[in-house]
Amino acid sequence: MTPGRRPARRRLGIDVGGTKCLGVVLDEHGDVVGEQRRATPQGPDAIIDTLVELAGSLAPYDSIGVGVPGLVARNGVLRAAPNLVDINDFQVGSLLSARLGVDVHVDNDATAAAVAEWKVGAAKGVADCVMVTLGTGIGGGVIAGGRLIRGANGFTGEIGHMVVDPEGPPCPCGRRGCWERYASGSGLGRLARESAGGGRLRRVVELAGGDAELVRGEDVQVAAREGDTDALQVIDDFGRWVALGLVNLTNVLDPEMFVLGGGLAVSADLYLGPIERWFTQLLYAPHLRPHPIVRFALLGDRAGAVGAALLPEVH
Amino acid sequence: MTPGRRPARRRLGIDVGGTKCLGVVLDEHGDVVGEQRRATPQGPDAIIDTLVELAGSLAPYDSIGVGVPGLVARNGVLRAAPNLVDINDFQVGSLLSARLGVDVHVDNDATAAAVAEWKVGAAKGVADCVMVTLGTGIGGGVIAGGRLIRGANGFTGEIGHMVVDPEGPPCPCGRRGCWERYASGSGLGRLARESAGGGRLRRVVELAGGDAELVRGEDVQVAAREGDTDALQVIDDFGRWVALGLVNLTNVLDPEMFVLGGGLAVSADLYLGPIERWFTQLLYAPHLRPHPIVRFALLGDRAGAVGAALLPEVH
């Protein structure tokens, strides 16, 4: 049986994170009617045990979806997960299905978050939208023509690794100048540290305890809220890099809306002006189209779990 | 009536180019059973007259599609066309429909070429593929999940204006470092001219008549075929830039195949090795997936017209 081509009555979704697993149950309206958390254990066997126990605590349910951090193949295998210990080619979908006796739909956590925002969040009813999660790195999910785009291997939406400057700073992925080196939380910190030499960014460096090498994105945000002009300049530069990636995605996909989520979304008010100003300057043919709406995610920490619960309906 | 939800028996497609209009008729198998050319006149009224006459010369037909060079809105309006004279907000779809008495489906010419290669060409039956036309600039079309992706405004696939270096050379579009400044025919010429100072690229400069400022992409290709090592170095650099854009598209869309078309596709054998070598170096997680197949377009100059004929079935 394939549950959920029509909406199931109680839909279980689990978001597996680096430190915790969040399970939610949605009713037929998409409202969260049950919620449980567990610490994420180490190793595949322990993770499966935890997910089985977590699912049991939220029973009954009619369908299950799971979001995991990493590259997820279309058959539910987690190929690699930088933030989980000892996980490679983890058959999470088939192992859970065998234990629970129902189909389990698995996808990348940012893809799940995109599904959540599209189905019940900021982009509800929008046929063409791209979710961009600005956290330590950048993840994403693509909805086009009213459908989730998965790609040949299931790897659609690795937008943080678009190369925006081939001579740029090295990325942990092994290449240079990936978008997330600039437009993520760690990118904001890096932009600030690069500007902090020679007595500049004094207030930001002060917030970092006096050492320019220790400046983080958070320090820039605090100083910017105080009105510090150096910090606001870094924020403007950051907004330029965010806009650059959004422009590239617009040239490729022409979405109606971007939904920005992730840890940086909470300080959205700081960046939105610079993003929109730079977007207009960088877009191809900006005068010939309505620009995509840039909206902030509505579902917060629950987006991954809510979206996981909706995966059986969109896969 | 909306013709062609099921394949029409005789499907007319017209490709409007900067210098000529090509009309073809496809039979139920997708084979070309009629073909006519006309010079492209100047101005919207003259173009409509020419298209009506061209359509009449290929009658009877059950459906019509038209490909035009520029930004085409979903309602069939050509918003802007850099290669046509006096064309802005040209209501080509509704004007032709009124004259011919049938629905006319209009889309961008590179999108039409993508449809042709997907339906009856190099990517036949491939659910996730991206067409990349390498000509003077770069155009494209996106097929994902077995459907043509059009976007909110119909502008999907303006891939030549992905910014791959925000400090790069200026683009006629008004921005800097667009992909087509590097990976198109004009990009190849530019890469060569930049390398040609100080006595380098001697053979290429000789082929250009002795003036490094006059070097074109064609000169590089001729010298590379002679085995000139300087020219082969430029070809390698060109392949790196082509690969960079393909990598970005792969990170976003995860296609199974790229189809390369346009004027540069005829010298494909020169570039394919460098493109594939650089692709592996630049891709995120290259060891975790089968790489997209890079294939060259099969339909040549007819791709736009053949794809136009198929638009009513994919819109």
CB B212 within 8 A of CB B201: yes
Q: Cβ contact (<8 Å) for A284 and B147? A: no
- Helix or strand holding residue B72 (H, E): strand B71-72
Distance from CA of A89 to the nearest CA of B (A): 9
Within-domain flag for B3: no
Task: Give chain A positions within 8 Å (CB) of B253.
Answer: 142, 149, 151, 156, 252
Task: Please indicate, yes or no, whether residues B263 and B141 belong to a single structural domain of this protein.
Answer: yes
Nearest to A308 by CA among A13, A45, A78, A48: A13
Task: Give chain A positions within 8 Å (CB) of B159.
Answer: 251-252
AA letter at B307: G
Task: Please indicate, yes or no, whether residues A44 and A101 belong to a single structural domain of this protein.
Answer: yes
Instruction: Note if the bond before A3 is cis, omega within 30 degrees.
Output: no
CB A239 within 8 A of CB A187: no
Within-domain flag for B240: yes
Task: Give chain B positions within 8 Å (CB) of A153.
Answer: 254, 289-290
Task: Give chain A positions within 8 Å (CB) of B281.
Answer: 175
Q: Cβ contact (<8 Å) for B282 and A163? A: yes
Task: Please indicate, yes or no, whether residues A115 and A77 belong to a single structural domain of this protein.
Answer: yes
What Å distances lie between residue B188 and B110, B216, B245, B264, CA to CA?
A: 20, 7, 14, 10
Within-domain flag for A4: no
Task: Please indicate, yes or no, whether residues A54 and A187 belong to a single structural domain of this protein.
Answer: no
Within-domain flag for A2: no
ipTM entry: 0.94
| Residue linked to tokens 């100003």 | A277
Q: Cβ contact (<8 Å) for A152 and B79? A: no
Strand partners, B34: B25
Using CA atoms in the order A100, A105, A109, A113, what is the torsion angle rounded to 10 degrees? -110
Q: Cβ contact (<8 Å) for B152 and A256? A: yes
Choose the closest CB to B254 out of A156, A248, A292: A156
Strand partners, A11: A26, A63
Distance from CA of A211 to the nearest CA of B (A): 30
Angle between helices A185-195 and A217-225 (to 10 degrees): 70
- What mean pLDDT do residues A275-289 have? 91
For testing the chain A interface, which of B79, B254, B291, B315 should be mutated: the one with the most A CBs within 10 Å?
Answer: B254
Residue B5: predicted pLDDT? 53
Task: Give chain A positions within 8 Å (CB) of B71.
Answer: 285, 288-289
Task: Please indicate, yes or no, whether residues A39 and A139 belong to a single structural domain of this protein.
Answer: no
Task: Please indicate, yes or no, whether residues B108 and B135 belong to a single structural domain of this protein.
Answer: no
Residue-wise pLDDT for B143-186, tens only, equals: 999 999 999 999 999 999 999 999 999 998 889 999 999 999 99
Q: For chain B, how many residues are written?
A: 315
- Helix or strand holding residue B194 (H, E): helix B185-195
Within-domain flag for B2: no
User: Taking the alpha carbons of A277, A283, A288, A292 in that order, is the dihedral positive or negative?
Assistant: negative
Q: Cβ contact (<8 Å) for B128 and A152? A: yes
AA letter at B297: A
pLDDT in tens, chain B (315 residues): 455 455 558 999 999 999 999 999 999 999 999 999 999 999 999 999 999 999 999 999 999 999 999 999 999 999 988 888 888 899 999 999 999 999 999 999 999 999 999 999 999 999 999 999 999 899 999 999 999 999 999 999 999 999 999 999 999 888 999 999 999 999 999 999 999 977 899 999 999 999 999 999 999 999 999 999 999 999 999 999 999 999 999 999 999 999 999 988 888 889 999 999 999 999 988 888 889 999 999 999 999 999 999 999 999
Q: Report the alpha-carbon distance of residue A179 to residue A165 in Å, rounded.
A: 8
AA letter at A284: Y
Q: Cβ contact (<8 Å) for B163 and A248? A: yes
Task: Please indicate, yes or no, whether residues B142 and B287 belong to a single structural domain of this protein.
Answer: yes
Task: Give chain B positions within 8 Å (CB) of A288.
Answer: 71, 79-80
Within-domain flag for A141: yes
- What mean pLDDT do residues A218-226 have? 96
Its domain, for residue B28, covers 11-121+301-314
How does DSSP assign A226-251, residue by residue? Answer: TT-HHHHHHHHHHHHHHHHHHHHHHH
pTM of the predicted protein model: 0.95
Residue A6: predicted pLDDT? 56
Q: Cβ contact (<8 Å) for A254 and B144? A: no
Task: Please indicate, yes or no, whether residues B145 and B83 belong to a single structural domain of this protein.
Answer: no
Task: Give chain A positions within 8 Å (CB) of B151.
Answer: 128, 144, 253-255
Task: Please indicate, yes or no, whether residues A190 and A243 belong to a single structural domain of this protein.
Answer: yes
pLDDT for A170 beyond 60 = yes
- Other C-beta atoms closer than 10 Å to the C-beta of B20 total 12
Q: Sheet containing A293-296: which strands, arranged edge to edge?
A: A147-148, A138-144, A129-134, A257-261, A293-296
For testing the chain B interface, which of A147, A253, A259, A315 should be mutated: the one with the most B CBs within 10 Å?
Answer: A253
Nearest to B305 by CA among B26, B6, B83: B26
Q: Cβ contact (<8 Å) for A149 and B149? A: yes
Task: Please indicate, yes or no, whether residues B103 and B207 belong to a single structural domain of this protein.
Answer: no
| Residue linked to tokens 């065998």 | A98
Q: Into how many domains does chain A fold?
A: 2
What Å distances lie between residue A106 and A57, A80, A307, B293, CA to CA?
A: 20, 14, 11, 26
Within-domain flag for B192: yes
Choose the closest CB to B252 out of A145, A159, A289: A159
Side-chain-side CA neighbours of residue A267 (13 Å): 22
Structure tokens at B106: 């209009």
Nearest to A191 by CA among A138, A239, A119: A239
Q: Cβ contact (<8 Å) for B290 and A163? A: no
Instruction: Note if the bond before B60 is cis, omega within 30 degrees.
Output: yes
CATH number of the domain bearing residue A24: 3.30.420.40
Within-domain flag for B4: no
Q: Cβ contact (<8 Å) for B80 and A285? A: yes
Choose the closest CB to B153 out of A157, A254, A281: A254
pLDDT for A80 beyond 50 = yes
Task: Please indicate, yes or no, whether residues A103 and A139 belong to a single structural domain of this protein.
Answer: no
**H-state helical runs in A167-287:** 180-183, 185-195, 202-207, 217-225, 229-253, 268-282
What Å distances lie between residue B210 and B79, B141, B207, B229, CA to CA?
A: 42, 39, 7, 18
- Helix or strand holding residue A108 (H, E): strand A104-108
Task: Please indicate, yes or no, whether residues B102 and B167 belong to a single structural domain of this protein.
Answer: no
